[in-house]
Amino acid sequence: MFKQLWTLVCVLLLMMSAAAPVLAAETDAEAAPAAAPAIGVGAEAAVLMDVSTGDVLFDKQAFKKKPPASTTKIMTAILGLELGKPDEVVTVSPKAAAVGEATLHLDPGEKIPLYELITGALVRSGNDACVAIAEQIAGTEENFVKLMNRKALTLGAENTNFVNTNGLPNKNHYSTAYDLALMARYGLQNPAFSSITRQKETEIHFLEPDVLMNLRNTNKLLWNYPYADGVKTGTTNAAGKCLVASATKDGRQLVTVVLNAPNRFGDAQKLLEWGFGQTQALKLAEAGQVMGEFPLAGLKPVSAFLEAPVEVSIRLQDKDQLKTKIVWERGPELPLNAGERLGRYEVWLGDKKLKSVPLINEREVLSPPKTWSLFRRLAFEYRH
């Protein structure tokens, strides 16, 4: 009897040793990624981002806090579309009508659908329209601004602080090129937002009085660059000339932000063209694809599959320099639930992590019976 038990314990020891979990498995490229591209843009701060993947392809002081001017209206429009109903009627207040600078020349008491006001804010850059939107949604502009800042944080825009809805100068009103790209990327996924910002010219309809107003987009890139399809200009003495611009070519959309740029349309077009010509979006794996086998002590491993697709955008010259890594986040203890997170699948370029996607367990694995647990304990005691 003892001889049989001893034989079983030895077998268990061998199985447990072979099944010890691997903390990380990776494939590495030997070459280091090339240096950042030298693109001559006059903007004080700039960024280029792939809309699909969110990867940054170029940046120049992209995280420096700057006055955003009327690019602020991107967030105002996003919340107006998400929190309001397009056809709800807005009555213009005296406060909204009194806002100066670039306006729709609203008068107190005028009635206009919310969607028309949002169009006026994005296309014509109406400062008064932004205040009217805010009052309709949140009661006051101050309350609406709180919602703007909260939304910015949820999008990852951590270096942004709004104090008004339209970008009129205030020392405490700031953002960054990177944060504005995040907001624009989010907005472009909303069909209504995307539709409005790509319009060269349009008209809005007032209900009282019953009149139409023709609007011409302030974004000249829509006329000068055939792939342009958004997003928003901004200009103040403090901010200089600013532009958040998007373009789509061969099904791929990029967004660029240039702040305090004397030649904002030229800078934006140069960055977009470079992005389309010198970078590429790659899908490395599909959602649900099995990427590894998670080892269990003495039991058959379970398959670990991707929770989401793995997509990255990189320069063409860096394509062969990607490396991937599987990192297990838990030990082999049981039970193991179906759908439980086991680890993550990471994509790296040099020392920069581009993507991290959760790896999920494929099937349920219950705890072993008591007899099995006894043998494992005997094996452990023998080893120690």
DSSP, residue by residue, 244-306: EEEEEETTEEEEEEEES-TTHHHHHHHHHHHHHHHEEEEEEE-TT-EEEEEEETTEEEEEEEE
93 catalytic? Reply is no
| Separation of alpha carbons 238 and 173, rounded Å | 11
CB 325 within 8 A of CB 24: yes
Q: Choosing from 66, 73, 151, 355, which is the catalytic residue?
A: 73
| Domains of the chain, first to last | 2-30+286-383 (2.60.410.10), 45-277 (3.40.710.10)
Give the SS3 label for residue 95: helix
Alpha carbon of residue 157 to chain centroid = 9
Per-residue pLDDT of the chain (384 residues; tens, 9 = 90+): 444 444 444 444 434 433 333 344 444 433 444 455 778 899 999 999 999 999 999 999 999 999 999 999 999 999 999 999 999 999 999 999 999 888 899 999 999 999 999 999 999 999 999 999 999 999 999 999 999 999 999 999 999 999 999 999 999 999 999 999 999 999 999 999 999 999 999 999 999 999 999 999 999 999 999 999 999 999 999 999 999 999 999 999 999 999 999 999 999 999 999 999 999 999 999 999 999 999 887 788 899 999 999 999 999 999 899 999 999 998 888 888 888 999 999 999 999 999 999 999 988 887 665 444 545 555 555 555
Catalytic residue among 66, 70, 93, 175: 70
CA 205 to chain centre: 33
Please tell me whether the overall predicted TM-score, pTM, comes out greater than 0.75 for this model: yes
Select which of 60, 66, 93, 125 is catalytic: 125
